Structure 1
């Protein structure tokens, strides 16, 4: 751990296909917040932002990154943390009071974020429960986001890491194995199940790992050669080309008398893979959406697709509060750590973020890590 500098270095995307570092004032932490020296800032949706320069409600050209791990360098009096604590930072700044928060559910679904009534889920950017609200409530000019040398984090969104869990493996705790851990828990994936995964990116790879960890057999729908090879290395039962005329027959050959998968995880949000994940489920199966392309509609038949087959369809963004302990225990499993080593295919200094984003756009990659201290 280094002594905290009195400035902060943050990543910016000022225009399409341009990534640049900017010097900002050192973060200011109010009560209930800590300052974390970020060790790993994983790439999530920033590749798309880099290409299109279109932002979601919780980020902006100078506010990027919602995942991360690091070391606490500053606390406030009365904090339950100490400088030197190694931690994972979960995304958001939930209210801790609403139904969602008090039931241990997912913080990005906190009622403090007014999704309802806004197109594309574009809630107001400065709501306190969102990441942009973190700097606002602290009167800080930087630190609310993960792609920075120093991050300002709400204590209730920070968890100490076990001593035997490296930053490299712990950094998978958000949008790789974290959101998919909650998806697997909510879907009830168990030993003996057959799980179908379509639209495979790094989240789909995380869904594969979570299903395997629970003793399920995994069938993957995909055509990207690089990512399908990663799936094979993880140990899936079958990789099926969703464009093959007999793709569904191939799924049924794996699932036997059930004639479909018990659970399907869809990671792209595109109709192409949604159609196939829906068709590939058995009756009484569960479809869990882990990806989206916007707020456009998707057509299903209430009778034919949902009621006659009794399909359950749900989705979500992140890790439930109640799942954090189990998630960290899973990340300490040597087998899971081996899968993370397979899924994380590229690591770049944050000073070379543009190269990282270009790699993400090729899709010949799994999860990509940025190192903000380099």
Structure 2
């Protein structure tokens, strides 16, 4: 039997799952809300156990049943942290990052791997990230964040992903982030054969115009309707590569298309830009828009493969030992958390090494979006105290439960 088993939450259509499988993990369970993505997982891996439904619902799966699994992994929803959205973080009913981290206490995996959008790496979420690191430390894990570019792992697309890896103390010193690979081929070289599949004799000419890697593929959500290749800036980049980004095509250009035709991409083409290839074979089920959404929201398999392989090397204690970076993401958060009571602004500024009172106020304001911050005022004097984390971590009375049920039809 495979020595390294995995439970994957918010598994989507299988981008991370396939990469982890290539690295050497065997899925004990994959949990996913979207029925179309579940159908894709079942079509590709009939032997896998697939649990369909809300990952936080114990009638769908019980985390305690998978205690001691080698890896707990997931690509929890991105909208709470997306730069393109409102960045509601802990106040977004789709936020499952904190909940996923909390499952470490129940599942007690040998390692944790969570991926999300670049927005989670921004100053807006410094306190949120610090809370995650501190909580994992309390649970006996050593954790580290890293922003990885998909284009550094053979994927012909920008696609930055913010990765959290946590391991138990005996394995952590052997974890090294995967080394980058040579630059990937550009869009034209990647897609020229698919673009010519319908007989379009100008495919080679088109490929010379598509001479760069792709902008980040955006799968979008059920809330925002049909498929296209992203926001205005991305569409402009696609236009410069002679690609019509206003939709997804059913088939490659036909033989009668003129040389100045500006083609749309097919789902097969988008999948290749996401890293699926002959090495990472996968079939997507469902209608076109659903397929595109599954592909566009995925974690590129080559990146998951690289990170998963690095985790297995750590399990085997291969290579040299190292120290994890103990990055302090938010000194104001840490100062408040270390205090037993209310703290004056002057004291906070001294501990946090801040010189500007306005900057302290800004940082308190950011923290108050994800944490309850108590403010005590006596005359002209103000003091602060850090309260509870607002994020959903499994509380039965959390507002997330009602909001999730209310908006479930458009959550993806």
TM over 0.5: no
Q: Which has the higher helix share?
A: 2
TM-score (norm 2): 0.30
Q: Which has the higher strand share?
A: 1
